[in-house]
Amino acid sequence: MQEALLNETTEIPALHEDLADMRASIGTWHGWVVRQGPRLIGAVRARVENGGWEIGRLMVAPDLAGRGLGRFLLAYAEGQAPGTLPRFTLFTGAASKRNITMYERAGYRITPQAGDAGGHIAHAVYLVKERLQG
């Protein structure tokens, strides 16, 4: 909900998914979580999409933001990509300045949405990072 409030929209895909959508995503996305005891404190998912590695739903418990867990999850998701893929893609809310800054520091750049990130989302910016080969 924080992202919805920050970006002044409820058109965030996660807010509209039902159980059937979640079950279907298990077949197409790889997902990873971080727990602190029984508490879920972070998660991210990724999949092969349009010749790239699409990273999505990166989340960190609000009280733990700014401690590096988001950067860890992003790097972990990137590290799970098949070696042949040339780029990483993702999107975030246009008003999510903290997220955008983190992604830019990790080597992403804002790009016009080119179909890599699962269709156009209102109030979103799309980012891409070319993968270093070698």
For residue range 9-40, list pLDDT tens digits in order.
555 565 557 777 667 767 899 999 999 999 99
User: Do the beta carbons of residue 9 and residue 125 sit within 8 Å?
Assistant: no
Please provide residue 131's backbone torsions phi and psi, each rounded to the nearest 5 degrees. Answer: -80, 135
Whole-model pTM? 0.82
Q: Is the pLDDT of residue 118 over 60?
A: no
Mean pLDDT to the nearest integer, 68-77? 98
Domain 2-130: which CATH class? alpha beta
Going across the sheet that includes 39-49, the strands are 30-36, 39-49, 52-60, 87-93, 124-130, 109-111
* pLDDT score at 91: 92
Which residue ranges make up each domain of the chain? 2-130
Contact 83, 52 (CB under 8 A): no
